[in-house]
A and B are shown apart, each in its own frame.
Chain A
Amino acid sequence: MSIATHVAPAADRKSAIQTIGLQKSYGSGAATFLALDDVSIDIAENEFFTLLGPSGCGKTTLLRLIAGFNFPTDGQILLHGKDIAPLPPFKRPINTVFQNYALFAHMSVAENIGFGMKMLGWPKEKITARVAEMLRLVRMEALAERRTSAISGGQQQRVALARALAPQPQVLLLDEPLSALDYKLRKEMQVELKRLQTETGITFVFVTHDQEEALAMSDRIAVMSKGKVLQVGNPREIYNAPVDRFVADFIGESNILEGRVLDDAGPGAFQVYVAGTTITAYGHATRGSAIQVLIRPEHVDVLDIATPNALPAEVENEVFVGSDTRLGLKLENGARFTVRLSNSPELDRQRTAGGRVWLRIHDRCARLLGAEHV
């Protein structure tokens, strides 16, 4: 974990993929659809970089432009500083793991893995050795001669990975590769993918709409919406300091309250009036402006007695979900609020609907959100 969180000094940081003002539109005239709007991102070598967003946000379009399946309307794609935008996919040292795996059904597992190297004209012995190495890496040695139609979904997934990694690409693109797997297998493959990325040292660009998956695996995440990149940062930054309401809503659970800035309260801190109470929130704001405040459900203590700077609320419902208990609450101004409490036997007690409680927000856990991007 210390390796993953270690941030290399800016001087040694080398870009693997850079996009500059990337634009992709479909159709023309009034019917033009802008799939990517001025996207500039910089993905470092050896990075596990995730493009995260809801369907239709442009993340797959961006991946396809990097792979070379589509060509940008405008802008540049640099691979180690060289513009690759005009190159066809078979001339780019970049491989893709497809969402449906796209395995060649008329070939065996080993033939699938060897295909890219065969096309590159590697000598036979070298291909055989590399195929064996890849089979070991994805733990599929026993099934080398099977047809791809005769193995399970999880195994197909591994073959697709091995096939894409075998020709030693400089960048590996993964288009929602885990979406077809069931929950348990998906969790296993998340760990597996992260292990493969660390072991091979190849830059991974991973596309997903699953924020949990993105947080668990990525070194950095780019959150996308409507063809734009809203925020790029490591998982902690994205979760703790989302730039706007969209990112806050999309990543994790959130309570977003309407409020008004009353006064400064030190550097980057403000007194904000929300739902009948004054709390301290952090971020950027101007005095007197209307603002939104983000509070994560796990950053709240529930108290039974009135406390200064705690939000009074009424219990609406309580749901026990194993590790946590979720409290559904209503604030004084009628806004809904969710609190997540960790369960432990000694704290276990049920709250009755209609009961009054006070919500104390953890220190530095109320976050001011910027104006929403349109």
Chain B
Amino acid sequence: MSSLTQQAAAHQAATVRRRWLLKAPALLTIILASVGPLSVMLVYSIMAKGSFGGVNLGQLSFDGWMNVFVERDPFDDTLVLADANLLILWRSIRLALITTIATLLVGFPTAYYIATRPEHIRSQWMLLITIPFWTNLLIRTFAIMGLLSNQGPINNFLIWIGVIDTPIQMLFTDGAVLLGLVYVYLPLMVLPIYSSLERMDFNLVEAGYDLYATRLKVLWHIVIPSCKPGIIAGSILVFIPAIGAYVTPRVLGGGKNMMMGNLIELQFGQGRNWPLGAALSICLLLIVTAALIFYIRASSAKDISHGH
């Protein structure tokens, strides 16, 4: 009897070992690529900064986190609100939100148009939508820079037709950054909306018309609710990279229209304030996490809503 128990225990132990072995590659990847770096960031954010960059390990300091919100006045040592940081934080959130809305406004009709074409034409349209991805982001951004510059084709054209006599300053404005963000992230909005529209039963649209709904009402009451998961997915896919965008605000926003990504880069570079950079990174991460939680809530709402 006892030998049987022993055998069972041994078998159990072997099973457990095998499970851990099978899990090991995944666990290792998660630890090395995600948990590890994040822990380093967290630790760096609560250390004193080194004079020439880096941190003084072991010297605990919350200056990094403090500096996100407040800074010491260089003349009288009083604490004042770090309005430059907060402005950049606010600009990042604002630009990312506007980008999301703008890509939705442009992307939804585009996706709807493509989804209602005959099947063989649809795939050609989707190919066209994805072609910009084949070119490097930096190169595409420089192309927009060329278009918007004071000597660029848009200003030249406007001067030529006589609408203006001096070039409009378009480059290095929030508007330019926004245009760049919308252009870059538009496909990320179109693709998920398209895929949910493509799966939609177009009989529902006919049922809507049949029940006295005009085109606009069908769109509002039937099409949009039916592809809500696609709209939410697209919004998340656009918002997350847009709020952390680095290249676009750097190239199109010049030095002064920074976003979070640029501010963080600055702290690790010229600013030599690694703890602040780490703290800012974690702030960005928290905003993205909040957005993802919203996404999970919103997309699971439809599955659990049976009978409230």
Contact = CB atoms under 8 A, between A and B. Distances in A.
A126 to B, nearest CB: 15
Given A95-B211, A96-B210, A105 B217 contact: no
Nearest to B226: A106
A95 B210 contact: yes
B206 interface: yes
Given A102-B201, A146-B307, A69 B212 contact: no
Interface string A56-91: 000000000001110000000000000000001110
Contacts of B206: 67, 69, 89, 96, 98, 102
Interface residues of B, number: 23
Contacts, number: 73
B306 A104 contact: no
Contact of A163 (B209, B211, B222): B211
B256 to A, nearest CB: 46
Interface string A4-32: 00000000000000000000000000000
B204 A104 contact: yes
A147 interface: yes
A150 interface: yes
Given A69-B209, A98-B207, A147-B307, A90 B214 contact: yes
Nearest to B302: A106
Interface in B187-215: 201, 203-204, 206-214
Contacts of B305: 147
A259 interface: no
B109 interface: no
Interface in A143-202: 145-147, 149-150, 163-164, 167
Contacts of A104: 204, 207, 222, 225-226
A102 B207 contact: yes
A68 B210 CA distance: 8
Given A106-B226, A106-B302, A146-B307, A89 B203 contact: no
For chain B, what secondary structure do more than half of its interface residues adopt (helix, strand, loop), or is it mixed? helix
Given A98-B203, A104-B204, A104-B222, A67 B210 contact: yes
B147 to A, nearest CB: 42
Interface size of A as a range: 20 to 34
A88 B217 CA distance: 14
Nearest to B224: A106
Contacts of B207: 96, 98, 102-104
B211 A88 contact: no
B199 to A, nearest CB: 12
A3 interface: no
A115 interface: yes
A90 B212 contact: yes
Nearest to A143: B307
A102 B204 contact: yes
Interface in B222-244: 222, 225-226, 228
B203 A150 contact: no
B226 A116 contact: no
Nearest to A116: B211
A30 B305 CA distance: 53
Contacts of A119: 211-214, 217, 221
A143 to B, nearest CB: 9
B121 to A, nearest CB: 17
A115 B201 contact: no
Given A145-B307, A147-B305, A89 B201 contact: no
| Most central of B206, B211, B212, B307 by chain A CB within 10 Å | B211
A178 B262 CA distance: 63
A106 B220 CA distance: 12
A100 interface: yes
Nearest to A150: B306
Nearest to A121: B212
A100 B201 contact: yes
Given A146-B306, A150-B307, A106 B225 contact: yes
A8 to B, nearest CB: 29
A120 interface: yes
A105 B203 CA distance: 12
A233 B59 CA distance: 97
Contacts of B302: 106
B203 A102 contact: yes
Contacts of A95: 210-211
Contacts of A147: 305-307
A149 B225 CA distance: 15
B201 A167 contact: no
B227 to A, nearest CB: 10
Given A100-B203, A106-B225, A90 B306 contact: no
Interface of A: 67-69, 88-90, 94-96, 98, 100, 102-106, 115-116, 119-120, 145-147, 149-150, 163-164, 167
Given A90-B214, A104-B204, A105-B226, 6 more contacts: A69-B210, A95-B211, A116-B210, A147-B305, A150-B307, A164-B211
What are the 5 A-B residue pairs with the smallest beta carbon separation, nearest first?
A: A116-B211, A102-B207, A102-B203, A119-B212, A89-B209
12 contacts: A68-B210, A69-B210, A96-B207, A96-B210, A100-B201, A102-B203, A106-B226, A115-B211, A115-B213, A119-B213, A145-B307, A147-B307
